[in-house]
Amino acid sequence: MNGFLEYVPGDSLLHRLNPVAKLLFAIVFAITCFCTGNLVFLCCMFALGIAMAASCGMMKQVLGLMKAVFVFSLILAILLVFTTPQGEMLVELPWGYIGTGSLLAAATTIVRLEAAAIPLFLTFYVTKISDLSNSVVKVLHVPYKYAFTFASTVHFIPVFMNDMKGIMEAQTARGIEFDVGGIVNKVRLMVPLCVPLLVSSVRKTNSAAIAAEVRGFNLRTRESGYKQYPFSGADFVVLALAVGLLAAAICLTVLL
């Protein structure tokens, strides 16, 4: 069972693309979403992201992560509604009002964050983290220490989540009910679980550090990797598409 941000094998176009091309496309795609406030254009970007997820069979994983992004974006949207009085007044407040522009800004924020997150999620689901870190070292000349730190961070996220799940199941078997009460009670029950999770995390990171040192981590250079990551025609097409989307977003912002 594949967990959070873990590689899912496949033979789709996204799986076959160069890891660097996928990473650059995701970054430029996210930048594009923040370069324009045109809601129609952002909806098109969101639809393109959904189509990409469907093309590689990752709809289930992406939809699950989109729920978490939606909660965060909804909080920002609510703050925008109550703190940015714009457009025609709909509801009067003691410190201002809620206007049509406020609702438009809130909707734009939600769609923008959702659209920007999809390609970033897909990059990890359709790319082995080892290929991603090795390719940025080989192609982009990123120092190996930085690439290894990034790869280790992503690798340990699902590990720590599984550890927390196991700790919660053990506490549930002892009679603790995490689903009872409000959010304050849930937080109160969750805080003591951070101690065993922290102990487990320190042990795992210490073991990983020792293993890396034994394998000659400090001697690793760009030339140490034997695998090459050449670009194909499809990679250049994807990068050109990303640049085209960015140019279109900038033009819309300037013209409108």
Amino acid letter, 219: L
- List the pLDDT tens digit at each of the 256 positions of the chain: 455 667 888 888 888 899 999 999 999 999 999 988 888 999 999 999 999 999 888 888 888 888 888 888 888 888 888 887 777 777 777 777 777 888 888 889 999 999 999 998 888 888 888 888 888 888 888 887 787 777 777 777 777 777 777 877 877 787 777 666 666 777 777 777 777 778 877 887 777 778 777 777 666 666 666 678 888 899 999 999 999 999 999 988 887 6
Residues 120 and 245 both lie in one domain: yes
Strand extents, DSSP E, 127-238:
none
Quick one: 122 and 194 in the same domain? no
Judgement on whether residues 234 and 212 belong to the same structural domain of the protein: no
Name the residue range of residue 64's domain: 1-139+229-256
Q: pTM value?
A: 0.76
How many domains does the chain fold into? Answer: 2
- Beta pairing partners, 89: 99
Distances (CA, A) of 12 to 5, 54, 136: 18, 10, 22
* Shared domain check, 101 and 8: yes
Does one domain contain both 86 and 168? Answer: no
Same domain, 132 and 148: no
Check whether residue 195 and residue 171 sit in a common domain: yes
pLDDT of residue 42: 92
pLDDT at 256: 65
- Same domain? For 65 and 182 the reply is no
The answer to whether residues 15 and 76 belong to one domain is yes
